[in-house]
């Protein structure tokens, strides 16, 4: 596999500076926070070949505009963004299932495994979720623990909490309501 060149944009968000990577066909290839730039590059190299290059975009992409709108409150702005990700057939099935989780809702890893017809593959679903290169748009932040706990998130739990609260319109998260009830 030969390395590819993608466009890189920087977007200021309430949770930090976001990196947005698109290809020549305007498809989203990666989204991550600037403080996780090295992890994003590692994922790009894994999926597209060592030495994948990023060049600064000349103009704002549809993806960057949609993500800005999402952070400004238009939660549906990212729903139909074209994406392209390389991965195994299993990873692609998990990532497709993630895009089917409605805004403002969460599912457990077990429920996600069941949705893709592999109910015993909970751990593998977790690994595929963690290897998702397109954060937010492929909403891995909507996956929680079986006990409704906010489990790991590549961008940090503080960002996962913020994203879920943002999508719930500021209502307390289910996990927080559950903790308060105990």
- Token look-up 């309501």 returns 177
* Per-residue pLDDT tens listing for the chain (182 residues): 566 899 999 999 999 999 999 999 999 999 999 999 998 988 888 888 887 899 999 999 999 999 999 999 999 999 999 999 999 999 999 999 999 999 999 999 999 999 999 999 999 999 999 999 999 999 999 999 998 888 888 889 999 999 999 998 866 555 444 444 33
107 vs 147: CA distance, rounded Å = 11
Q: What are φ and ψ of residue 30, in 5° steps?
A: -160, 150
Burial class (CB in 10 A: 0-12, 13-18, 19+), 146: exposed
CB of 91 closer than 8 Å to CB of 100: no
Which positions are annotated as active-site residues? 140
Which pLDDT score, from 0 to 100, does residue 149 have? 87
Q: Order of strands, edge to edge, in the sheet holding 53-56?
A: 28-33, 16-22, 5-13, 53-56
Distance, CA of 51 to CA of 119 (rounded, Å): 37
pTM (2 d.p.): 0.89
Tokens linked to 110:
């077990």
Query: What is the residue-wise DSSP string for 57-115?
Result: -SS--HHHHHHHHHHTT-TTTTTT--B-----HHHHHHHHHHTTSPTT--EEHHHHHHH
CATH number of the domain located at residue range(s) 89-181 in this protein = 1.10.10.10
Q: Where in the chain is the domain with CATH 1.10.10.10?
A: 89-181
């Amino acid at each position: 596999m030969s390395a590819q060149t993608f466009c890189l944009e920087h977007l200021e968000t309430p949770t930090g500076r976001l990196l947005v990577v698109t290809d020549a066909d305007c498809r989203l290839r990666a989204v991550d926070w600037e403080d996780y730039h090295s992890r994003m590059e590692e994922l790009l190299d894994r999926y597209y070949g060592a030495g994948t290059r990023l060049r600064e975009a000349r103009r704002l992409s549809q993806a960057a505009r949609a993500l800005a709108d999402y952070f400004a409150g238009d939660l549906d702005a990212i729903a139909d963004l074209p994406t392209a990700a390389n991965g195994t057939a299993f990873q692609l099935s998990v990532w497709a299932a993630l895009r089917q989780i409605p805004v403002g809702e969460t599912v457990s890893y077990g429920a996600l495994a069941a949705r893709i017809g592999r109910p015993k593959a909970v751990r593998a679903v977790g690994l595929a979720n963690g290897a998702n290169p397109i954060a937010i748009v492929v909403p891995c932040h909507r996956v929680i623990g079986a006990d409704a706990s906010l489990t790991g998130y590549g961008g940090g739990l503080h960002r996962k909490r913020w994203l879920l609260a943002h999508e719930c319109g500021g209502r307390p998260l289910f996990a927080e309501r559950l903790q308060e009830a105990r």
